[in-house]
Chain A
Amino acid sequence: MNKVVANAQEAIQGIEDNMTLMLGGFGLCGIPENAISALVQAGMKNLTCISNNAGVDDFGIGLMLQQRQVKKMISSYVGENAEFERQLLSGELEVDLVPQGTLAERIRAGGAGIPAFYTPTGYGTEVAEGKECREFDGRMYVMEMALSADFALVKAWKGDKHGNLVFKGTARNFNPMMAKAGKITVVEVEQLLEPGELHPNEIHVPGVYVQRIFQGVDYEKRIEQRTVRQA
């Protein structure tokens, strides 16, 4: 068994036009920077991207939007991106807006072998239109379907060569669920370690979910809102 690949270019082998991808991250925090760069270079088109946000104009998924690689976004919030807005209004881009908790749970369900579930979120709103609604214990719930993807592109802080992963800070966000919901899960890490260097107690995502892992390079980790206080 060898899950380790040399770089992002090798890691995204097999991603083709029209595929569905999951990309981890919240805003620009915890996004798979290296894999996105490789996708932009490789130029696949008509991709469906499942990601909480759509990056900003010149970073993250915004780079893929610039190259018109994305056909559809499935996200909870897409506010920070003018190119996104332009493509959406001109009809070049489709967007499916999903409440953030429902998005997280649909992805979790996709990796957990649960085809659908009931949630109170969105009942009585347009999010519930056309969906089965059902009463449990006097409250109404909406049935939501699991999400899965051809490839999940995940960013972790540390990972070992078996694919065991540890995340840092709020860069965890959607990454753990996506790692489990990809048919092929590709992980980039800041520190690629030997098996045993991570203590079993500290592992956030066991390696069983991970098919490919590589040492990422040149992380920019751009900050959207740099807010500081005086020392």
Chain B
Amino acid sequence: MALDKYGIAQRIAQELQDGYYVNLGIGIPTLVANYIPENMQVFLQSENGLLGMGPFPTEENVDADLINAGKQTVTTLAGASLFSSAESFEMIRGGHIDLTVLGAMEVAQNGDIANWKIPGKMVKGMGGAMDLVASAKNIIVAMRHTNRKGESKLLPSCSLPLTGLGCIKKVVTDLGVFEIKENAFHLLERAPGVSVQEIREKTAGALVASDDCPEMKLA
């Protein structure tokens, strides 16, 4: 069975390492925070100026002056720091963040990503996405494998306006985990119960997949 959004987040959490500084985008990426292993210290960065972001506050601790990049009220953990937007993007652009997880509308087999604009629709803006993909050391895309029409979001090349060029190394979808290299999506793991055949059928971009590809293990 294909993963739901929690399953995708849970699988991505397996990519975390102790001491990582991580920026989680809005949507499925935010859910990754729920699956950080207990024996691991991971620092969450919110690009509006917070490192060491904690969970949502209890009702009595809500502070209008403390929000995340999704404009949700949050808390700080012990050892957190606060800073300006310019400093926040120094961390991001300067390559000091170990891992960025973000959503996408399309990913191409050469690592291009499109996630900010659909021609003909109201454009809301790219926010910090272009900065995040321009220089992160390690970027994982979390998204559904297909769009609402059932069309593959893993493509030979992006059709939508790009957010960044050749920057995506790994994609986790509801169907599997893919590494992008040598101009192809390499299937590393398939979601529990999902066949390699189904993944082949639903992937429009070049796919390298062996029939004995392992199934991912979720706790």
Check: A214 CB closer than 8 A to any chain B CB.
no
**Within the assembled complex, what's the spacing in Å between the Cα atoms of A119 and B90?**
11
Size bin of chain A's contact surface: 35 or more
A170 within 8 A of B: yes
CB distance from A104 to the nearest CB of B (A): 4
Interface residue B72 (Cβ < 8 Å from any Cβ of A): yes
Task: A108 to B84: give the CA distance in the assembly, Å.
Answer: 10
Given contacts A76-B125, A100-B89, A176-B84, contact A125 B164 (CB under 8 A): yes
CB neighbours (8 Å) of A123 from chain B are 134, 165
Chain A nearest CB from B65 CB (Å) reads 4
Query: Which candidate, A5-13, A36-44, A195-203, A221-229, is the interface stretch facing chain B?
Result: A221-229
A229 touches B48 (CB 8 A): no
Asked whether any CB of chain B lies closer than 8 Å to the CB of A2, the reply is no
Select from chain B the residue with minimum beta-carbon distance to A122: B130
C-alpha spacing A125/B58, complex, angstroms: 41
User: Within the complex, what minimum Cβ distance (angstroms) separates A88 from chain B?
Assistant: 7
Tell me whether A229 and B64 are in contact (CB under 8 A): no
B161 / chain A contacts, CB cutoff of 8 Å:
125-126
CB neighbors of B among A189-224 (8 A): 221-224
In the complex the two chains form, is B73's CB within 8 Å of A226's CB?
Answer: yes
CB of B71 within 8 A of chain A?
A: yes
Q: How far is the CA of A75 from the CA of B124 in the complex (A)?
A: 10
| Inter-chain contacts of A99 with B (CB < 8 A) | 126-131
Q: How many whole Å from B167's CB to the nearest CB in chain A?
A: 10
**Chain B: which residue is nearest A106 at the CB level?**
B86
Residues of B within 8 A of A169 (CB): 50, 63, 65-67, 82
State whether the Cβ of A177 lies closer than 8 Å to any Cβ in chain B: yes
Complex contact B67–A101 (CB within 8 A): no
- Nearest residue (CB) in A for B65 is A169
Nearest CB to that of B117 among chain A residues?
A126
Whether the pair A223, B134 counts as a contact (CB closer than 8 A) is no
Considering the complex, give the chain A residue whose CB is closest to the CB of B161: A126
Q: Name the residue among B46, B70, B86 with the largest chain A CB count within 10 angstroms.
A: B86
**Once the chains bind, are B67 and A230 in contact (CB under 8 Å)?**
no
Q: Is B62 an interface residue (CB 8 A)?
A: yes
Q: Does B92 contact A (CB under 8 A)?
A: yes
Q: A127-B130, A227-B72 are known contacts. Are A75 and B125 too (CB-CB below 8 A)?
A: yes
> A92 near B: Cβ within 8 Å?
no
CA distance A95 to B89 in the complex (A): 22
Can you list 16 A-B contacts (CB < 8 A)?
A: A76-B126, A97-B126, A99-B130, A100-B127, A101-B128, A102-B130, A104-B89, A119-B134, A121-B93, A124-B162, A124-B165, A127-B130, A169-B66, A177-B84, A227-B73, A229-B58
Residues of B within 8 A of A (CB): 46-50, 55-60, 62-74, 82-86, 88-89, 92-93, 122-131, 134-135, 161-165
Given contacts A76-B126, A121-B130, A172-B49, 5 further A-B contacts (CB under 8 A): A120-B135, A121-B93, A169-B67, A226-B62, A229-B55
